[in-house]
Amino acid sequence: MLELAALLYEGPWVAERHAAVEDFMANHAADINTTVRSIISNAGKFSATATFKAQYRKEELVRQIDTLLSEIDGLLVPTAPIAPTIDAVNANPVELNSQLGTYTNFVNLADLCALAVPAGFRDDGLPFGVTLISGAWKDRELQTLASQWLNAHPTPLGATDKPRPEEVATYQPAVPMVQVAVVGAHLSGMPLNTQLTERRGRLLEQTTTTANYRLYALPNTTPPKPGLKRVEQDGAEIVLEVWEMAASEFGSFVDLIPAPLGIGNVELADGRWVNGFICEGYGFTGARDVTEFGGWRAFIKSGAATQ
């Protein structure tokens, strides 16, 4: 994250700023703030080759950051690590402004979203704040987290001594979402779970099916995979996880599912029906009934899968 932030201010992205004001700088350079002018003037130091190299490195760093953030709801950081005086900034503008963005300067290039909220006052009486950071299009989710933070750590209303009203916010996805129930190799910690996390999938809950299903270990699958079968009698509740992902990601996820598996509808213990893994009838030929374990994770942990 620090390396990506450095690319923003020390790399060829400064040329993007120069492109916006090139004509003005050419004709009115003396009218531009000296610090701003000195920064933008660095645009001429970078070649097209250096720009492409920086772009490639940026993409590498963004992939690393996406992986780091894939299993958390948000990153909580200080909005600014220091609170310098105006005189101090005037005396050392570049260094101090860089320090102010230590924990947040990477957000733009990483295509993330961030929300700053107040967090009380320091011992010297100066205000302090924190910033919540998450993936692209997570703005409403961050608003919910911010409301929970503010309610747990109440502060006055602005610069007054009036109490701030309690925040009310509920989780509302900013983009259309799809829920999918997984019962086997896509469970948390299982080999194919990355197919969910790579698509910014979010674990909503662990629950079970209704007592109308049986679980089978399918033959000749790598990694080992189960097949879920709905039955009229002698069924059982099977442990599963419900995940949520953007509808735009769901198609690419389904494309990864090999036959005889597919996506159909699965009934949860509370009566809800959600998208879930099912198996075509022919896939159960030679399959081992593992319903007695109550779920795929328990079956795998038992060591029975290798027997």
In this structure, the answer to whether residues 13 and 127 fall within a common structural domain is yes
Q: Yes or no: say if 109 and 13 are a contact pair by the CB < 8 Å rule.
A: yes
CATH of the domain at 77: 1.20.58.1700
Kindly state whether residues 137 and 77 are assigned to the same domain. Answer: yes
CB neighbourhood size of 235 (10 A): 17
Confidence class for position 97, pLDDT limits 50, 70, 90: confident
Instruction: Please indicate, yes or no, whether residues 181 and 299 belong to a single structural domain of this protein.
Output: yes
Q: Is the pLDDT of residue 267 over 90?
A: yes
88 and 189 housed in the same domain: no
Domain identity same for 137 and 229 = no
On whether residue 216 sits in a domain, the answer given is: yes
Q: Residue 193 domain-assigned?
A: yes
pTM (predicted TM-score): 0.53
pLDDT band per the 50, 70, 90 thresholds, residue 170: low
Q: Which domain holds residue 40?
A: 2-152
Contacts of 16 (CB under 8 A, 6+ apart): none
Q: Is the pLDDT confidence value at 151 over 90?
A: no
So what's the pLDDT on residue 70?
A: 80
Q: Are residues 23 and 82 in the same domain?
A: yes
pLDDT tens digit sequence for 215-259: 999 999 999 999 999 999 999 999 999 999 999 999 999 999 999
**200 and 112 both lie in a single domain:** no
Pairwise CA distance, residues 224 & 287, whole Å: 11
Q: Tell whether 193 and 122 lie within a shared domain.
A: no
Same-domain check for residues 141 and 27: yes
Token pair belonging to 175: 């983009």
Q: How confident is the model at residue 52 (pLDDT cuts 50, 70, 90)?
A: very high
Q: Where are the alpha helices (DSSP H) in 41-85?
A: 48-69
Domains identified in the chain, total number: 2
287 has pLDDT over 80: yes
Same domain, 14 and 101: yes
Is the confidence at residue 139, as pLDDT, over 90?
no
196 & 115 share domain:
no
